[in-house]
Amino acid sequence: MASATARLKELLASPGIRIMPGCHDAISAKLIQESGFEMGFMSGFAVSGARLGLPDTGLISYGELVEQGRNICAAVSIPMFGDGDTGFGNALNVKRTVQGYARAGFACIMIEDQLAPKRCGHTQGKAVVSRDEAAMRIRAAVDARNAGDDILIMARTDARAVLGLEEAIARCRLFRELGADITFLEAPESVEEMHRYCAEVDGPKMANMIEYGKTPVLPPQQLEAIGYKIAVYPLTLLNAGVRAMREALSSLRQGRMPENIMEFEELKAAVGFPQYYEEEHRYQY
């Protein structure tokens, strides 16, 4: 069977845009695969929120993210993208981060150019490193890939919010020259900016569809027409889950059973009891 990275390469080379929901743990990743999606994304925002109950402001560590990623990748067979943050240090740290994500099972890692500690790309207070330092991070990531780690490199820039669209596009071009497999210009603020990015940067590009964020949320067909290859929805599941849990807790607080609760058998199936019982029966003596 081809590796997750090989299968991701095939998906990127085939016609059509790829829709990629974001996950924050193993069960959310399993639900993405169960729903028929071909790839998923471990969102740093979502993991920080779900695992620590803290904002995506650089508070979560490399170790916590890679451990969460190992559980996520083990739960599914579809290619998974992993949020590698800033690479967690200098060039050698970046290489170690790429190696760790590859060994955890990720098919692609995202490395960004924010100044550490980083923060969600659609929030205030962002800062980016110099173009030279940003290039160093991507060069180190590409070197780790070329040294044998079976993983793709997605290079992200947050320069649009800090230094303007021209610099963000220039960085994406540089990242491609350095060997990045995919680029991600974070938080363009109009359809016109999205068109410019896609027209002026070659290779596969990702659109970040955060509900009520800074970038227009467009239908996948329109994103494909603009020039995007991937549409990621990093926070949709966390968003829906937090709302559903709040509504359920409100019902319990009022002495009512929550609505839209699954049958227990359905919940058992979602976490894998039927497969466990089948395996258990196989080894009975």
Average pLDDT by stretches of 10, the chain with 285 residues: 93 97 98 98 97 94 97 98 96 98 98 87 83 98 96 97 96 98 97 98 98 95 98 97 97 95 95 94 89
Would you state the pLDDT for residue 98? Answer: 98
How far, rounded to the nearest angstrom, does the alpha carbon of residue 189 sit from its chain's CA centroid? 20
User: Read out DSSP for the chain?
Assistant: ---HHHHHHHHHHSSS-EEEEEESSHHHHHHHHHTT-S-EEE-HHHHIIIIIS--SSS-S-HHHHHHHHHHHHHH-SS-EEEE-TT-SSSHHHHHHHHHHHHHHT-SEEEEE-BPSS---TTSS---B--HHHHHHHHHHHHHHHHTT---EEEEEE-HHHHH-HHHHHHHHHHHHHTT-SEEEE----SHHHHHHHHHHS-S-BEEE--TTSSS----HHHHHHHT-SEEEETTHHHHHHHHHHHHHHHHHHTT-PPSSPPPHHHHHHHHTHHHHHHHHHHT--
Q: What is the pLDDT of residue 121?
A: 66
- Look up the pTM and report it: 0.95
Q: Given the structure tokens 């049958």, which residue do they identify? A: 263
Rounded Cα distance between 88 and 18, Å, is: 28
**Structure tokens, 104:** 């955890």
| Residue 243 CA: distances (Å) to CA of 55, 204, 233, 239 | 17, 33, 17, 6
